[in-house]
Structure 1
């Protein structure tokens, strides 16, 4: 499983030097050259500077991970500022909304391997940056099949996350697991990690049956809640089941379906009989699964043009508007292309 995101609220410049140093060190540890790490410094400086100058602060998320044999750093920069009226216009070098040279966003786009920005007036802005160890590494945003992104952060003050997730590809399709260990901290993390390992080992094809296997495997843990969504390409179906309070929804255009989980705690007490929900699988669907670190009263249809955005931007937008801030938080978004 990928590492969780480090999260910092930036309201003034007091944290900027620390964050720049942390990300610079992450880059070097991930095998970035000194030159590439310096380019990463420029990106971080531009993002944090804009956050302070134009949005009066916001949240900065980052992590290092390995993807398809290369190392990279992911950054989300999120604010509740006045928003941007014309994103395309401000991406051009030389444009400035203040008394600057106006090279900020253009520099970020040039130096990163992927840069995405979504903004609405009086709502704020979400920026996503992906920096690979090699500047010429090609990053495809919309490969055919299933494209997913996850934002997961620890409960404030904890060093480990009690939430967890895993996407597993099978001969017939793929399976998604999102879980939340009871409470937060080390014991919650141990519970969800045990659940993920049992999920990875399972050869099952039915979500309810896989949850039963997970239940048996984690009985010595604190316990957890989890939902599993399985796709079978041949039958073109979703097979979904959950225990606890992981929120699962599938959107296609204006239509959406919420999948209600069973009551119970995996590893302690689960229903004697459970049945997975079968639902049609089709292109252009969006599946969203999140822990109770996010509020559940949201609707993608109320967010202008958000469905057209990447999985990561959708995840960050939901995180931005619905974070409770009282627990670990995980939101997984997958698009069927």
Structure 2
């Protein structure tokens, strides 16, 4: 797809994202732009140094726009993965998540809690969004996480899954007074999954999710497939974003 980004405040078509270096991080921004305008679902895989990011974004009811958006940004020796869920669904929800994506690319060198504070200002005037983001320090092998709202986060290290907790609220509507960050080592065959509330609230990672050689976009697709149930029809946009180490055997 052509390398392009949505202007600030514009609604992002289903699956809109951009990956690459953050401005000022030593090199110009580059990567994939939003999905084609009439796409009903979007799947992406982006390989950065030593890590890969992938995701799947499915708009509610096959709509033109998804109110969910994910992106990954490289800034120096750090990589930040973010997933935003605009309040509701449709173009207005997409404008909110688009504003979060645009704002992250301007402050990806900051800690997760500080990024959320910047995003709060950027999302004023929109419906607001739930946002979770994780910043991986490649040199230190440490992950820092913070979130506001109901975008879920699960981290696997050493074969054990851990639920990373976000605080209640809506970015752009309720200004956070205090924000808690969680930290964890990025070791032991790590895997990070962020997901919006299109997945059931009691969702648990499927067995074998994110094997070392798995494409993270495939892991995202498997997550959505295994969490789906005919007895629980999807009532919102659904997006999953995944961060994994890049398998050494891949170029």
TM-score per shorter chain, which class? 0.7 to 0.9
Asked if the contact 2:80/2:108 (under 8 Å) is kept, the reply is: no
User: CA offsets per residue over residues 138-195 of structure 1, 9 Å max, x none?
Assistant: xx99886111211001111421110001100011211111000000001101111111
Q: Which moved more, 1:304-313 or 1:325-334?
A: 304-313
Equivalent position of 1:303 in the other structure:
207
Q: Establish whether residue 328 from structure 1 lines up as the match of residue 232 from structure 2.
A: no
- Tell me how far apart the structure 1 counterparts of residues 150 and 75 of structure 2 sit (CA, whole Å): 26
Give the paired residue count: 211
1:206 and 2:107 aligned: no
Matched, 1:4 2:8: no
1:141, 1:310 within 8 Å by CA — same for their partners in 2?
A: no
TM-score calculated relative to the size of structure 2: 0.74
Residue from 197, 208, 216 that aligns with 2:121: 216
Which residue of the other structure, out of 88, 92, 105, is the alignment partner of 1:183?
Answer: 88
CA offset at residue 235 of structure 1? 2.8
- Residue of structure 1 equivalent to 2:37: none
Q: Cα RMSD between the aligned structures? A: 3.1
Deviates more, 1:198-207 or 1:221-230: 198-207
Measured in 1, the distance between the counterparts of 2:98 and 2:189 equals 31
- Structure with bigger helix share is 1
Flag the 1:249–1:304 CA change in 2: closer, same or farther, 3 A: closer
Give the Å deviation of 1:279. Answer: 1.4
Conservation of the 8 A alpha-carbon contact between 2:199 and 2:224: yes
Other structure's SS at 1:332 match = strand
Please say if 1:156 is aligned against 2:156.
Answer: no
Unaligned 5+ segments in structure 2 are 6-11, 16-29, 34-42, 247-251
Check 1:334–1:306 CA distance in 2 against 1; reply closer, same or farther (3 A cut). Answer: closer
Are 2:112 and 2:146, in contact at CA under 8 Å, matched by a contact in 1? yes
Describe how 1:14-29 pairs up with structure 2 within 5 A: none
Q: Secondary structure at the match of 1:196?
A: helix
Q: Is the partner of 1:198 in helix, strand or coil?
A: helix
CA distance in 1, matches of 2:156, 2:81: 16
